[in-house]
Amino acid sequence: MNENLFASFIAPTILGLPAAVLIILFPPLLIPTSKYLINNRLITTQQWLIKLISKQMMTMHNTKGRTWSLMLVSLIIFIATTNLLGLLPHSFTPTTQLSMNLAMAIPLWAGAVIMGFRSKIKNALAHFLPQGTPTPLIPMLVIIETISLLIQPMALAVRLTANITAGHLLMHLIGSATLAMSTINLPSTLIIFTILILLTILEIAVALIQAYVFTLLVSLYLHDNT
């Protein structure tokens, strides 16, 4: 009970060296690959999910936007597997680190915005000033639209960090309460443990949904600039 509530969010080290890089590289190793002509059920299900995600993400894009399909599919798989692995006991979730989420959000957002300014500079600049804006409001609207554009990657990173961190903290608190109540009141312990199981199921759904939301927003930014 004396354990620090935020101890699970501290980046782990091995012999004094940061192990975050190894943890980040670990999820891709869990994605199975097939060397045979006929795939098994796991590979078939995996390919079906990838095709479903690709179709849903790329339907709204033109030819130039569809060149990002491999990157977006890799992104959603990486975030989803990382979030799910973080639900295991004594594990570390890299997506609870704001610095890592910013490192994913800023390059993707910047790439989409730069592509928009290179290919459709008039449309890109038109977002800063909606049509029919009164003349006295033009300077204020340009400033507001500029700020809203610049905070998009921060919003992406903070949303992912906050949702994953909040779920982990809630599971930690309810798990500690279950352990404390186990020696006091057995019926209350069973109720709290049931809540913990339901919360774990909810967190699995949140881990997948947040990966989808992050990738979908990046896809929407790309769509606005292509």
Tens of pLDDT, residues 210-226: 998 998 888 888 887 77
Structure tokens at 47: 């390919």
Helix (H) / strand (E) containing 14: strand 13-14
pLDDT digits (tens, 9 = 90+) for 44-72: 887 888 888 888 777 877 877 788 888 88
CB atoms within 10 A of CB 159: 16
Q: What is residue 2's predicted lDDT score, i.e. its pLDDT?
A: 46
DSSP 8-class letter at 11: P
Supply φ then ψ for residue 131, to 5 degrees: -65, 140
Predicted confidence (pLDDT) per residue in 96-119, tens digit: 888 888 988 999 988 888 888 887
SS3 for 64-86, per residue?
A: CHHHHHHHHHHHHHHHHHHHHHC
What was the pLDDT predicted at 1? Answer: 45
* pLDDT of 62: 80
pLDDT-based confidence at 7, cuts 50/70/90?
Answer: low
Q: What is the pLDDT of residue 174?
A: 83
Domain ranges of the chain: 1-225
